[in-house]
Every structure is written in C-alpha cells, then in structure tokens.
Amino acid sequence: MNILSTIKKYKNLVTSKYIFISSDEIDVITKGEYWLSKKFDGQLWFYYKQNKISKIINSNQKDISNNVKEIKKDLDKKLSKFKNIILAGELYFLTNERERCGDTLSGLADSKKTKKLRLGIFDLVYSDNVSTNFEDKYKFLKKNLGEKDNDFSHVIEHKKVKSNEIIKSFKNLVENKNAEGLIIKNETNI
C-alpha cells in the first residue's frame, strides 16, 4: 500500500464530490436517505498505520505527529490490533464556542494549547478488511474509536436522515447551535 498515493487519491476524489449549497438551496437535494454530520471548522489530516509505524499527516506529507502526541497515542491505542489503516479526520480546537480554524493553527503552534486539539474522524480511507459502504465504515469507526469528543480522537457523529429532515437539522445545528455547517452525504454525493 502506497500511503501517500492513497491519501492524495482520496482527497482528490472526495474534494471533487463536495457541492456547496446555502440554506436556501437545500431543497435542490434529491429525495432519499443521507448521512448527516456537523461540519467542524478545522483542518483535514490523516492518521495512518502501516505495520508498526503510525503518523498524522496531510496530503502534502506534512507530519504533525510530534505536535499532537496525545491524539496519536490515543489512536495508536484504540487501533492497536490493526496492521494497515488510514483514517480521514478534521483536526479542531475543543472549545465551548464554535471551533475556528485559526484556533486549530494556534493550537498546533503553541505547545501549551495542544491538549485542546482533537481529531474528529469522519471516514475510513483504507483498511485491510472493511467494506467501502459508508454504513459499514461508520459502524467500524464507532466500535473502535467511540464518539466522545472529550477523547483526543473520536468518530464524528453521523445520523441517517431523510431529505425532508435536512432543513430541521440545519436550523438546529447551524442556526441555533452556531456550527459551521452540515455535511450531507450518501454513497455518491457529498
């Protein structure tokens, strides 16, 4: 497995599928069931483990493993029984307010703030034995990482919704709770 190639391919394929819409365009979403999650305001990073080596890197090979030792240690422990795995996640700064990308950058630059950084995992990029179906990947992530955002690493909570429930979720999470946005996906669209 070529880790960097897999990460770059994932980033290019996933990023190209994102369709940004405003709240007044939600009705263009086709009918059906979707996975819905909160959009965190942070940075995209990847955790990988190949044999006994693990790191947290971005698609440009920048390695922040030494900056986020607690996150890496948490993931290493939770995924100790797996030989080859790549996870995609949003690195964000834990706060009572809405997280901000600027706080994430500040947390990476200041060793006194790194304990407030979290990696919210939203996808399983590669594993030796997990299906490519999102529902199977999500079950795997919940079982192995848990959803407690106080943990240094956790899976971002997703819920299955019908298209007519998206507006209600938008009002609840974005308008009432000040989240950056929502991520809505099925097996073909994000």
Asked if 54 and 48 count as a contact pair (C-beta separation under 8 A), the reply is yes
What's the predicted TM-score (pTM) here?
Answer: 0.92
User: Is the pLDDT reported for residue 34 higher than 80?
Assistant: yes
Using one digit for the tens of pLDDT, what is the confidence trace for 71-111?
999 999 999 999 999 999 999 999 988 889 999 999 999 99
Edge-to-edge strand list for the sheet holding 117-127: 53-57, 43-50, 84-93, 117-127, 153-155
Contacts (Cβ under 8 Å, ≥6 apart) of 145: 75, 78, 121, 151, 153, 154, 155
pLDDT the model gives residue 190: 64
pLDDT the model gives residue 186: 83
Q: How far apart are CA 51 and CA 128, in angstroms?
A: 12
